[in-house]
Amino acid sequence: MPLVVVGSVALDSVITPSEERDDLLGGSGAYFSYAASFFTTARLVGVVGDDWPRRHTEMLQARGIDTSGLELIPGEKTFRWKGKYLENMNDRETLDVALGAMEKFDPTLPEVYRKCEYLFLANDPPPLQLGVLRQCEGPKLVMADTMDLWIKTERDSLIELLGSIDAVVLNDSEAKLLTGEGNMAIAAAAVRALGPRIVVIKKGEHGAMLVSDEDLCLLPAYPTDRVIDPTGAGDSFAGGLMGYLAETGDLTPAGMRKAIAIGTVVASFTVEGFSLDRLQEITREDIEKRLAEYCGMIGV
């Protein structure tokens, strides 16, 4: 089934301990939709400005991604982010953010998008996420992402959103900030009490935890030894996860576990290159091969 994602589309500048790159394709919507496109048709909703390179849109379209929801606002600049990764490649500093067209982003979904069965609300302000959700007509599964900024500044609207969706994905520090709980099992239960029946907590190099009505599991990260640029790993993790669920419709505990494993594998490819470079080199067969290796490692 087609999968709709609403998220940022950006031009990134990334500094790692060994290299620096400017004007890379980035943004949660871009990473998510590309990762999801290995499994299903991804429909992207986002916004860009006059400086947006047409080649990026063409590259997304070549993957079968529907970009009819990607809006260009004349006279505005595309959202830009600049960040620096520290020596351990886990910690990073945001050096500069320029919202540009994102500051005025108030998406109106194309009619065909409103009937989507699978919807992912990427890391945007909760009022925007709620506005998108209200335009949709009874989706089968709605998952949202969030971040520490919205937990601190938009808590009330975030709580409202959590009460209206099926699933949420957040990292361990965000779960702690949202709930005040340091134990991730307790934090996940506290998040579920706010509404979503499925909670996925990302733990970076330590993998991900899934908590639902029927299941609790912790899966490790894939141990790649080629970490070039971690940007977008979390978004491509979610894209692989949701892409697989949209492809199969399997929301059973076993299906959710496989979706988490697939998201983990897709993210492991993402970090092996800058931007979407590594994902552009691989095929579905490469994902399946690494998935088999991963499942063998963890005894699944």
Split into its structural domains, the chain has a count of 1
The pTM for the full model equals 0.95
d(CA 76, CA 216): 45
Give 82's strand partners: 13, 96
Arithmetic mean of pLDDT, 234-249: 97
Question: Of all residues in the chain, what percent carry a pLDDT higher than 70?
Answer: 100
Residue 205 has pLDDT above 80, yes or no: no
- Distance, CA of 188 to CA of 290 (rounded, Å): 29
For residue 33, give the CATH number of its domain.
3.40.1190.20
Provide the Cα torsion 124, 130, 135, 140; round to 10°. Answer: 90
**What is the distance between the alpha carbons of residues 4 and 126, in angstroms, rounded to a whole number?**
17
Domain that holds residue 45: 3-298
Kindly report each contact of residues 176-182 with a partner whose C-beta sits within 8 Å and lies 24 or more positions away, as own/partner.
177/148, 177/151, 177/152, 178/146, 178/151
Q: pLDDT tens, 177-196? A: 999 999 999 999 999 999 99
Statement: residue 300 has pLDDT above 70? no
Beta-carbon contacts of residue 251 (< 8 Å; ≥ 6 apart): 141, 245
Q: Which of 53-57, 87-91, 241-245 has the lowest mean pLDDT?
A: 87-91
